[in-house]
Amino acid sequence: MTEMVYGAVPVAGGEPVLPKWWRTVDKWSLGCILTLFAVGILLGLAASVPLAERNGLAPFHYVQRQAFFGGMALVAMLMTSMMPPVQVRRLAVIGFLAAFVALAFLPFLGTDFGKGATRWYSLGFASFQPSEFLKPVFIIVSAWLMAAGQELGGPPGRLYSFVIMVIIVLMLAMQPDFGQASLILFSWGVMWFVGGAPMVLLAGLAGLVVMGGTFAYNASDHFARRIDGFLNPEVDPTTQMGYATNAIIEGGFFGVGVGEGTVKWSLPDAHTDFIIAVAAEEYGLVMVLAILALYATIVVRSFIRLMRERDPFIRYGGTGLAAIFGVQAMINMGVAVRLLPAKGMTLPFVSYGGSSLIAGGIAVGMLLALTRTRPQGEIGDILRGGRR
């Protein structure tokens, strides 16, 4: 599609897939992703044992499941990262149709597992959360539509992607799942901004978000309880937020020691939403800063590589994936330190969860695929050539 506008440099074929992939992939980002997975296993050894005991399971039941799903996620990441952008787009279109249908039927066939929000399908041996898989494929489909809209005679891609985004956000809000809805809205807004959206329209979008949040506060008791709890200056020490806050304070700079933390025995979601509290208590601020550095490295390096990319589809898609990856991590950690209201969002590659791990593997695989170096002129070369 974009080759017709910008042209393409002929590429000599014949190079094996694996050597070509290793030569072109961002090895720093790949290393950080693998390190995050290892950190997740390490923290799972501490955080999930109490839950296994409460449920009458083997001590490392959840760790073994996390390793299994994490292995599947790594395989999905590696396979996806070897795809060219065209195949990434095709995979996203098929995945989007499947995830969208699954999300649409969730109110009728889904379950809430007693958490007050119908977000999952129960498969017996595991659960499936469609919104986790919808996020990366929605970004790629939106990037494709936005890029197509820039071509001569192309469709109104931004309008189409906007309509799709609104439908998905409304479907997620009905669950209710305002956290995932906000991520979808944010990623679309970032791609729209990168595509050159006027500031007036971005301000209007921000106004709609405020109006939507006000409506949700008045219409949803679930949403209102979380906002009220966040705004309350006093933290109940017997709540999840109270346990997490105390754990972070107790951890200090270097932690109380491996296996010596107590918050994992009190927090029911210590292995998922509040895994960073376990890290802060047992390993201290040093571990938290190291985790922050890993996420920041992936996001910053992805943005730097995308700045040199001339294909708008790759720029939009890669930017959306990198942004949503970093923001999800920021939201999870922000909730734990009470900078943000509780949203029930996992920490990518660190928290326990089959859907989040596998969907995260697909998402970062797409990001690695789009940020691979390619034998083409960079956008800077085109700009310099235009000045001659």
Cβ atoms of residues 143 and 316 within 8 Å: yes
Q: Return the higher-pLDDT residue of 136 and 122.
A: 136
Nearest in space to 322 (alpha carbons), one of 350, 364, 373, 361: 364
Q: If you average pLDDT over every residue of the chain, what do you get?
A: 86
Place of tokens 């790629």: 140
- Arithmetic mean of pLDDT, 64-87: 95
Asked if the model's pLDDT at residue 258 lies above 90, the reply is no
pLDDT (0 to 100) of residue 49: 83
pLDDT tens digits for 3-21? 444 444 444 456 788 899 9
User: Hey, which of 24-28, 202-206, 228-232, 342-346 has the most confident mean pLDDT?
Assistant: 24-28
- Arithmetic mean of pLDDT, 209-221: 78
pLDDT (0 to 100) of residue 178: 84
Q: Return the higher-pLDDT residue of 81 and 126.
A: 81
Q: For 150-274, where are the alpha helices, taking DSSP H only?
A: 157-173, 178-194, 199-219, 221-231, 240-251
pLDDT tens digits for 278-316? 999 999 999 999 999 999 999 999 999 999 888 999 999
Q: Return the exposure string of 100-117: e unless at least 16 CB atoms fall within 10 Å of the residue's CB, then b.
A: bebbeebeeebeeeeeeb
Which pTM value belongs to this model? 0.88
pLDDT (0 to 100) of residue 27: 96
Supply 319's token pair: 């930017």
List the single range of 156-160, 178-182, 223-227, 358-362 with lowest mean pLDDT.
223-227
What confidence category does residue 174 fall into, taking pLDDT thresholds of 50, 70 and 90?
confident
Query: CA 7 from chain center: how many Å?
Result: 33
State the Cα–Cα distance between residues 277 and 262, nearest whole angstrom. 10
- Distances in Å between the Cα of 91 and the Cα atoms of 85, 128, 345, 349, 366 are 10, 19, 25, 22, 10
What confidence category does residue 384 fall into, taking pLDDT thresholds of 50, 70 and 90?
low
Asked if the model's pLDDT at residue 223 lies above 50, the reply is yes
State the Cα–Cα distance between residues 328 and 36, nearest whole angstrom. 14
- Arithmetic mean of pLDDT, 190-198: 86
- Distances in Å between the Cα of 190 and the Cα atoms of 275, 315, 317, 337 are 28, 11, 10, 25
Q: What are the structural domain ranges in the chain?
A: 40-374
pLDDT tens digits for 241-257? 788 888 888 888 888 88
**Which residues are 122's β-sheet partners?**
127
**Which residues are 74's β-sheet partners?**
none
User: HSE-up of 288 (CA within 13 Å, CB side)?
Assistant: 25
List the single range of 27-31, 147-151, 195-199 with lowest mean pLDDT.
195-199
Asked if the model's pLDDT at residue 168 lies above 60, the reply is yes
pLDDT tens digits for 89-115? 999 999 999 999 999 999 888 887 767
